[in-house]
């Protein structure tokens, strides 16, 4: 707290950076002063063999192994309950997951110096996850004790939070942000604070309700790995290969939550917080561009828009992208304020752009939006200077930030960026689009999705807001139009898939423009009707959100027939993220007898957190649905509609979103061997 206060009071940039560097160095020295070996909790004999217990948090299949530094030639061995599960030089793990019961298990591990234990607990996928020290104990399983923080890295979480606080205080000091807690100074924050509260409550109420989505485990594990590397000052290239195709900022956010618990809930809550902050920033942007009423309505439209809610309650790149787009836009808008240093404003804009690009490569499309905003708000006398100085300062600052926050680039930036791009550009499987199955959608894919996934009256009010800006020649309309159009440039990249997620900042801009439209329409009405119109518009959005809750990812507007229409006609994607599977799995967990056999015809299938005794599952081609007691099914695993349901199977549970079927559970009478389509 004292360091933060000193940073905020300090006015000289050099002094601010020096204080921050000293505080960060002190925290890192403190963290690394004690025992930091994750295997230190195991008993070690004279030969280097480590023994003790390992805690498995839930029953099911475990991938277990170890990671050895390059150059080490020794052979490692890992035994669980006396059975060897992994052996070899370098990296080794069991090629076929072993099914284990929850609780303490005996572990024996011998390996070259520097080797680390890794695993995938049931439900995880992607990057190997480091086994936390809290999941290890020196005693045998019958005598081992594990505290309430088992599975977490809570000491490291505390250090990570302290480092984040120092970094935020330094940024606030460099931005000359000095809050004054008076009624007059706090008044401009009242509307954004109200929007923030509404957005946060809605998002926290929805966290985890739709189940796990595709890549949450990937970012969760990689993010934990990244933060532990930073805290232990480990910048070796091989330790940063986890999820190497994406920049690191999303994984830092996910990793901070992952340090607190084995559950996804803390990490998802951080994304909910970022999403609520983006809505508050949207209110501030709308107020600055169009006035208080437009800003409040636009901010609440952001808070209630289904797809902005959807991506705020899962771990992914989308919400940080919207947050940095909103923050960058507000910073650029404030560059024209009287008394502000142009150079400092340009540098801060570059910092935010760099963090956006370090979140997702396609966020580079935010650069034209920020450049246009800087030119629009600059006075005519300073416009040329802003353009020339901005072309030098903003790209250089952004590139420096990307390089600084991604240690993988420090050794070979060009080669590692190329490696990331080669892996990233590989397309996913086929998806439905406008009645056909396609792997590479047409150029109009994203504009069509933007229109299809917007609530009808939000879209209509956004058109009214655009008309208002055109008639009045308002700069706000031009800026928001740029924020809608520029993300659509991703249509020229090799990655065009999965709805609006790559263009989510455009959805944010559409909501703000709708706020301007509601304000323009209200201004033409008598006072009583003028007050009723924003209330009616927001009530409509509340109903929209309530009807689709918690499956916001599957929302489609009335203009395309809603979710119930687009699925059967293959107009658009439904259930691709895995939504609905968790509810179907919960049904099986509650109703299946001990040892029942489950056939999984779902995609993604790694999100099926079945009860421990329900493993091993049955899957094609090694087994038939008729051999199972229960069948889990969703359409995402059956895009061509060829899956065969046994005639003896009866539907016992169905998960729907506003009439659209997301997942089904069948109970099978295995006495009938005959199959029909």
More confident: 74 or 580: 580
State the pLDDT at residue 3: 60
d(CA 462, CA 185): 31
Split at pLDDT 50, 70, 90, the class of 283 is very high
Residue listed under structure tokens 């000491």: 155
Q: Which two tokens stand for residue 160?
A: 């990570």
Average pLDDT over residues 51-77: 90
d(CA 497, CA 477): 28
Handedness of CA 599, 602, 604, 609 (dihedral sign): negative
Classify residue 96 as exposed, middle or buried by CB count within 10 Å of its CB (0-12, 13-18, 19+). Answer: exposed
What residue ranges do the domains of the chain occupy?
2-33, 43-151, 155-169+190-408+415-422+434-548, 581-668
Average pLDDT over residues 52-78: 90
State the pLDDT at residue 493: 82
At 344-402, the pLDDT tens digits run: 899 999 999 999 999 999 999 999 999 999 999 998 988 999 999 999 999 999 999 99
Predicted TM-score of the model (pTM): 0.94
State the pLDDT at residue 452: 97
d(CA 188, CA 197): 15
Q: Where are the beta strands (DSSP E) in 230-342?
A: none
At 532-578, the pLDDT tens digits run: 999 999 999 999 999 999 999 999 999 999 999 998 888 999 999 99
pLDDT reading at 1 higher than 70: no
Q: Which two tokens stand for residue 359?
A: 């979140």
pLDDT reading at 415 higher than 80: yes
Q: Is there a contact between 335 and 325 (Cβ–Cβ < 8 Å)?
A: no
State the pLDDT at residue 611: 92
**What are the CA-CA distances from residue 175 to residues 13, 192, 405 (Å)?**
10, 19, 20
More confident: 421 or 102: 102
At 594-650, the pLDDT tens digits run: 999 999 999 998 899 999 999 888 877 778 898 999 999 998 898 888 898 999 999
pLDDT reading at 674 higher than 50: no
At 301-328, the pLDDT tens digits run: 999 999 999 999 999 999 999 999 999 9
Q: At what angle do helices 504-523 and 475-485 cross, to 10 degrees?
A: 150
Q: What percent of the chain has pLDDT over 90?
A: 69
At 454-513, the pLDDT tens digits run: 999 999 999 999 999 999 889 999 999 999 999 999 988 877 788 999 999 999 999 999
Domain range 43-151, its CATH number among 1.20.1530, 2.60.120, 2.60.40, 2.30.180: 2.60.120
State the pLDDT at residue 544: 97
What DSSP line would sit under 415-446, residue for residue? HHHHHHHHHHT---S-EEETTEEESS--TTHH
At 116-153, the pLDDT tens digits run: 899 989 888 878 888 999 999 999 999 999 988 899 99
State the pLDDT at residue 400: 97
d(CA 462, CA 468): 10
């Amino acid at each position: 707290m004292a360091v933060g206060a000193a940073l905020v009071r300090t006015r000289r940039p050099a002094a601010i950076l020096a204080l921050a560097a000293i505080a960060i160095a002190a925290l890192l020295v403190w963290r690394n002063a004690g025992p930091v070996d994750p295997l230190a909790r195991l008993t070690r004999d004279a030969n280097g063999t480590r023994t003790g217990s390992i805690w498995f948090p839930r029953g099911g299949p475990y991938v277990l192994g170890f990671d050895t530094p390059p150059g080490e030639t020794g052979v490692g061995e890992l035994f669980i309950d006396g059975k060897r599960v992994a052996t070899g030089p370098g990296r080794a793990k069991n090629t076929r997951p072993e099914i284990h019961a929850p609780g303490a298990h005996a572990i024996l591990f011998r390996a070259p110096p520097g080797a680390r234990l890794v695993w995938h607990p049931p439900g995880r996928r992607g990057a190997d996850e480091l086994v936390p020290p809290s999941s290890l104990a020196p005693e045998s399983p019958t005598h081992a004790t594990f505290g309430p923080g088992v599975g977490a890295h809570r000491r490291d979480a505390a250090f990570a939070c302290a480092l984040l606080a120092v970094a935020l205080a330094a940024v606030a000091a460099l931005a000359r942000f000095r809050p004054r807690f008076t009624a007059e100074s706090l008044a401009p924050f009242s509307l954004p604070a109200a929007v923030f509260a509404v957005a946060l409550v809605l998002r926290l109420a929805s966290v985890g309700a739709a189940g796990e989505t595709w890549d949450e485990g990937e970012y969760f594990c990689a993010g934990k790995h990244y933060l532990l590397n930073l805290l232990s000052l480990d910048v070796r290239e091989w330790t940063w290969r986890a999820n190497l195709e994406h920049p690191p900022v999303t994984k830092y956010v996910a990793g901070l939550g992952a340090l607190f618990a084995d559950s996804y809930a803390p990490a998802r809550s951080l994304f909910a917080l970022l999403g609520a902050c983006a809505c508050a920033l949207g209110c501030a942007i709308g107020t600055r561009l169009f006035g208080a009423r437009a800003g409040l309505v636009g901010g609440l439209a952001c808070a209630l828009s289904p797809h902005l809610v959807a991506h705020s309650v899962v771990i992914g790149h989308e919400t940080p992208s919207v947050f940095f787009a909103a923050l960058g836009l507000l910073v650029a808008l404030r560059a024209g304020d009287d008394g502000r240093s142009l150079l400092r404003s340009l540098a801060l804009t570059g910092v935010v752009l760099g963090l956006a690009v370090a979140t997702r490569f396609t966020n580079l499309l935010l650069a034209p939006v920020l450049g246009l905003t800087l030119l629009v708000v600059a006075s005519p006398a300073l416009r040329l200077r802003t353009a020339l100085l901005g072309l030098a300062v903003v790209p250089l600052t952004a590139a420096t930030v990307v390089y600084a926050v991604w240690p993988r680039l420090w050794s070979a930036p060009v080669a590692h960026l190329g490696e990331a791009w080669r892996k990233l550009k590989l397309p996913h499987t086929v998806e439905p689009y406008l009645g056909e199955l396609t792997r590479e959608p047409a150029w109009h894919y994203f504009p069509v999705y933007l229109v299809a996934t917007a609530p009808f009256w939000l879209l209509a009010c956004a058109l009214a807001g655009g008309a208002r800006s055109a008639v009045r020649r308002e700069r706000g309309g031009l800026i928001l139009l740029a924020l809608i159009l520029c993300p659509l440039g991703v249509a020229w990249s090799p990655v065009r898939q999965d709805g609006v997620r790559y263009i989510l900042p455009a959805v944010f801009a559409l909501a703000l423009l709708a706020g301007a439209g509601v304000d323009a329409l209200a201004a033409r009405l008598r006072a009583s009707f003028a007050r009723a119109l924003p209330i009616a518009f927001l009530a409509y959005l509340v109903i929209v959100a309530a009807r689709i809750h918690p499956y916001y990812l599957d929302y489609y507007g009335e203009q395309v027939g809603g979710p119930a229409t687009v699925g059967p006609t293959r107009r658009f994607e439904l259930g691709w993220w895995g939504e609905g599977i968790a509810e179907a799995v919960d049904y099986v967990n509650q109703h299946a007898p001990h040892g029942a056999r489950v056939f999984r015809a779902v995609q993604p299938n790694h999100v099926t957190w079945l009860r421990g005794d329900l493993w091993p599952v049955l899957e094609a081609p090694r087994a038939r649905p008729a051999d199972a007691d229960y069948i889990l099914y969703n359409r995402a695993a059956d895009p061509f509609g060829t899956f065969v349901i046994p005639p003896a199977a009866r539907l016992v549970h169905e998960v729907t979103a506003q009439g659209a079927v997301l997942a089904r559970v069948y109970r099978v009478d295995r006495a009938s061997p005959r199959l029909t389509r």
